[in-house]
Amino acid sequence: MFKINWMLFVAGSFTGAFFAILVAGGLAFLFARPFIKWLVGIFTKRLMSDRYSTNIWEVVTAVTRTGPGAVIENSLRAASGGIIERPFGSPRKFLNLDGLVFSPAQLAVMPAHEYAEVDMSITIGPTAKKPLRLDIPIMAAAMGYGIGVSEKVKVAIAKGTAAVGTSTNSGEGGFLPEDRANAKYYILQYNSAHWSKEPEILKQADAIEIHIGQGATVAAASIIPREYIQGRAAKILNVEDEEVVVIPSRHEEINQPEDLGRLVDRLRSITGGVPIGIKMCASNRLEEDLEIAIQAGVDFISLDGSQAGTKGGAPILEDDFGLPSVYALARATQYLKKRQMKGKITFLTGGGYSNPGECLKALAMGADGIYLGTSLLWAMTHDQVTKAIPWEPPTQLAFYPGSMKDEFDVDEAAGYLKNFLISFVEEMKVAIRAMGKHSLQEVGTDDLAALDEWTSKVTKIPLAYEPHQPTGSGQDSKAARKRQGTGIPKKWLALRKQVQSSSKQQS
């Protein structure tokens, strides 16, 4: 009897609560509209009549004039009294590769079969004693352990890149053994600080990249508060007794341009002939910097445009220094071609690349490989960002001093990174087949057209509204046409010659 009464009580309570909710909802529906109308009316009346000095609209006009980014950053300057550090680089918009389009194959050039194999491999340092061959042209950009990202992030990048046959990069941070152990191809940055330079560490690299400068912080020194580098990173970097961690603006070994060659030779000797390259940002004296690198005998050159990101950099360096990536790319490839270094020195580019189309256009213009940083970091964290937002920025999951770095899932991130890189490259393969090609090496400037005069002038690529004139690069070269079996039949050439002759006679 008690059990039945208890069930009736529960059922009655539930029914009563349900009807109460219905009544409350009905009342809210009836009165909400008049209440909202009254409230909006009062707000609108004040908005339309108050003097500007007491009107909330003052905030809108002020932020529109100055920009919300500047307002927030100036507030951060006011709060700290020091140099602020902005993650992920500059928000400025520069000329980019959107002004270029690919030319599709149809009849003059036949498309490749939809299931045709496409060779996406690249070789870093083709003339080195131990060239580095990668399966794809997309590589992980430099992210330093300790001074930037956490151990978990480094291991996830190593695992994800290894799964698709491309490289990871140590960055300016300390040498993390787990990073090397999980990577298939490991590029070690030789930085201007004092750590990770022992011969036993250098010998573990598949390539060495001498860090001179980078897009987001140029060649300025990095000064990192000691409290940001605690625990294992402090031990690996050997900064346990230092109050402030400093990465100098210059290498001790490089005090004049000629010193670079001596450093290249020494590193080549220590490592037994792995590719030795240089990493720098793009200045307006780019050709002079490139010539010094050529004279030093480097095997590869990594060049950052000003859109490159970082863990944190002074906004003035991110916004107001260096050449945008498209300018740097165009000038560098043209100079290396002029110096007949194409195919001898590998050219790698980075700085703001975020989708397959941009990367393939850069490769068509003459780059050999692309560094992805910010895009790669967002892809690998994927939905893990929900662990942080909305209360914390996602960087707290990835950065070494991040408050949520322990919640970062390594295997999940590695899997997402693998998927991202596979998807990225497969999309590029679709484009290469659509141009009638079977290899990344066959893609060239002849496959591109410029949509505006500014882009055409910077890249030296003809405008799309002008008739196509083959330059001999890419698919339109005679050798490529013969290899693909898409050459113009002789009878068509004879017919064209006959028509041209007839036109001249009529005129």
Q: What is the pLDDT of residue 18?
A: 64
CB atoms within 10 A of CB 481: 17
220, burial (CB in 10 Å: exposed 0-12, middle 13-18, buried 19+):
middle
Interacting residues of 332 by C-beta distance below 8 A, sequence separation 6+: 282, 286, 290, 301, 303, 347, 349, 366
The tens-digit pLDDT sequence of the chain (507 residues) is 555 565 555 556 666 666 667 666 666 666 667 778 888 888 888 888 888 878 888 888 877 887 888 888 888 888 889 888 888 888 888 889 999 999 999 988 899 998 899 999 999 999 999 999 999 999 999 999 999 999 999 999 999 999 999 999 999 999 999 999 999 999 999 999 999 999 999 999 999 999 999 988 898 988 888 888 889 999 999 998 888 889 999 999 999 999 999 999 999 999 999 999 999 999 999 999 999 999 999 999 999 999 888 888 888 988 889 999 999 999 999 999 999 999 999 999 999 999 999 999 999 999 999 999 999 999 999 999 999 988 898 889 999 999 999 999 999 999 999 999 999 999 999 999 999 999 999 999 999 999 999 999 999 999 998 888 776 555 444 444 444 443 444 544 554 555 455 445 544
Size of the chain, expressed as the number of residues it contains: 507
Amino acid at 377: L
The kind and range of the H/E element at 246 are strand 244-247
CA distances from 144 to 15, 171, 317 (A): 61, 4, 19
Q: What is the pLDDT of residue 6?
A: 54
Backbone torsion region of residue 132, taken as left when φ is above 0, otherwise alpha when ψ lies between -120 and 50, otherwise beta: beta
Secondary structure of 8-45 in HEC code, one letter for each residue = HHHHHHHHHHHHHHHHHHHHHHHHHHHHHHHHHHHHHH
Amino acid at 482: K
Q: What is the pLDDT of residue 483?
A: 42
Question: How far is the C-alpha of 211 from the C-alpha of 350, rounded, in Å?
Answer: 14
Question: How far is the C-alpha of 449 from the C-alpha of 100, rounded, in Å?
Answer: 6
Q: What is the pLDDT of residue 399?
A: 92
Note the pLDDT tens digit of each residue in 76-119: 888 889 888 888 888 888 889 999 999 999 988 899 998 899 99
DSSP string, 92-131: -----GGGEEEPPPSSSSPPPPTT---B--EEESTTSSS-
Q: What is the pLDDT of residue 355?
A: 95
Note the pLDDT tens digit of each residue in 230-270: 899 999 999 988 888 899 999 999 999 999 999 999 999 99
Half-sphere exposure of 155 toward its Cβ, with a 13 Å CA cutoff?
12
